[in-house]
Amino acid sequence: MIPEERFGRWTAIGVPLFLLVGIIGSIAIHMGYAVSWAHLVVPAGLFLALQIGSYLGAFWAGKWGRQKKRFWPMALLSGVYLWGAGMIVMHYGARWGILPTFGDPFSFSICMALVTVIAWFVAVKFGRKFGGASLQ
């Protein structure tokens, strides 16, 4: 049996790791694509806030899911995280010339909403076979 995680330990391990990866990623973008530090501060901060917020939310969603045998909050959290990360990467990647022009954010949002609903449905419908997930 897995010992119960503590929020302090979860935070102490994950948050510094995300900060380190964010700093290394920012240095790589700065050096590889000549993006100025002034232009990197806001997107790096947004992405780190999204990463850390999702990571901390995953602790509570996972703990609740294991206790209640309901994993749909994790599917929704994953969908929101992927949508936010995709919007940030596509917007700033296009702005810096790393990616092709970012077209229609509405279409991307609709696509991500569908993927999230499908993931939620799979967690609810088929999770019962693998651990008892349900809507209640």
pLDDT at residue 1 is higher than 50: no
Please report where in the chains the tokens 């990571």 appear, as a residue.
Answer: 55
Among 50-59, 71-80, 91-100, top mean pLDDT goes to: 50-59
Q: What's the whole-number mean pLDDT along residues 115-121? A: 82
- CA-to-CA distance for 64 and 18, rounded, in angstroms? 23
User: DSSP character for 69?
Assistant: T
Question: Model pTM greater than 0.95?
Answer: no
**pLDDT given at position 133:** 47
**Residue among 18, 32, 41, 126 at smallest CA distance from 75:** 126
Q: Please state, rounded to an integer, the average pLDDT across all residues of the chain.
A: 84
| Helices marked H in the chain | 7-33, 37-68, 72-95, 105-125, 127-130
pLDDT (tens digit per residue) in 19-52: 999 999 999 999 999 999 999 999 999 999 999 9
Q: Is the dihedral of CA 135, 123, 115, 95 positive or negative?
A: positive
Query: Which residue from 134, 117, 116, 136 is spatially nearest to 125, judged by alpha carbons?
Result: 134
Given a cut of 50, whether residue 136 has pLDDT beyond it is: no
**pLDDT confidence of residue 135:** 46
- What pLDDT band is residue 2 in, cutting at 50, 70 and 90? low
